[in-house]
Amino acid sequence: MNIDKYTDAIKNCRFCFMCRHLSGIGNVTFTEADTPRVRASMIYGVTMDPEKMADKDFIDTLYRSDLSRACCFHCVNHYDENSLNIAMRTDLVEKGLAPDYAKAIAENLKSSSNWEISGAAEVLYFTDRYTLQTGTVAPAFDAIMKKAGINYATVSGGCIGRALKVLGFAQDAKAAAEKFVSTVKAAGAKTLVVSNPAAYELLKNDCAEFGIEVPFAVMHTSEYILSLGLKAAKAAGDIYYLESDYLKNYNDNLPFPRQLLAAVNANIKPFGTNNEESYTCGEGAVLLPEIDETLVAKLAAYIADRADDPANDKIVVASPYTKIFLSKYTKLNVATLEEVVAEVL
Contacting residues toward another protein, per CB under 8 A = 11-22, 30-33, 35, 38, 41-42, 44-45, 48-49, 55, 57-58, 60-61, 75-77, 79, 272-274
If contact means CB under 5 to 8 A according to the sort of partner, which of ligand SF4, another protein, none does residue 246 touch?
none
Q: Min. distance of Cβ 329 from ligand SF4 in angstroms?
A: 27
Q: What are the distances in angstroms from CA 30 to CA 14, 20, 35, 39, 296?
A: 18, 11, 9, 14, 15
The C-alpha atoms of residue 152 and residue 324 are separated, in whole angstroms, by 25
Q: Does 79 bind ligand SF4 (CB under 6 A)?
A: yes
Q: What residue spans of the chain are helical by DSSP H? A: 7-13, 26-29, 36-48, 56-63, 70-74, 81-94, 100-111, 129-134, 137-148, 162-167, 170-186, 197-201, 207-210, 221-228, 256-263, 288-305, 320-329, 337-344
> How many chain residues touch ligand SF4 (CB under 6 A)?
12
Answer with the entry of another protein, ligand SF4, none that 44 interacts with (C-beta below 5 to 8 A by kind): another protein
- Please give the residues from 29 up to 58 whose contact with ligand SF4 meets the rule CB under 6 A: 36-37
Site mask for ligand SF4 (CB under 6 A), range 55-74, x = bound: ----------------xx--
Residue 28 lies near ligand SF4 (rule: CB under 6 A):
no
Q: Which does 38 bind (CB under 5 to 8 A by kind): another protein, ligand SF4, none?
A: another protein
Q: Does 295 interact with ligand SF4 (rule: CB under 6 A)? A: no
The entry of ligand SF4, another protein, none near residue 72 (CB within 5 to 8 angstroms by kind) is: ligand SF4
Cα–Cα distance between 87 and 68 in angstroms, integer?
Answer: 15
In single-letter form, the type of residue at position 200 comes to Y
- Smallest separation, CB 127 to ligand SF4 (Å): 34
Q: Which stretch binds ligand SF4 (CB under 6 A): 15-23, 167-175, 256-264, 332-340?
A: 15-23
Query: CA neighbours within 13 Å on the CB side: how many for 345?
Result: 22
In the bound state with ligand SF4, the residue whose beta carbon lies nearer, of 12 and 156, is: 12
Q: In angstroms, what is the minimal distance from the CB of 76 to ligand SF4? A: 7
Q: Are 264 and 232 in contact (CB under 8 A)?
A: yes
Output phi, psi for 168, to 5 deg: 100, 0
Helix, strand and coil in the chain, % to nearest 5: 55, 10, 35
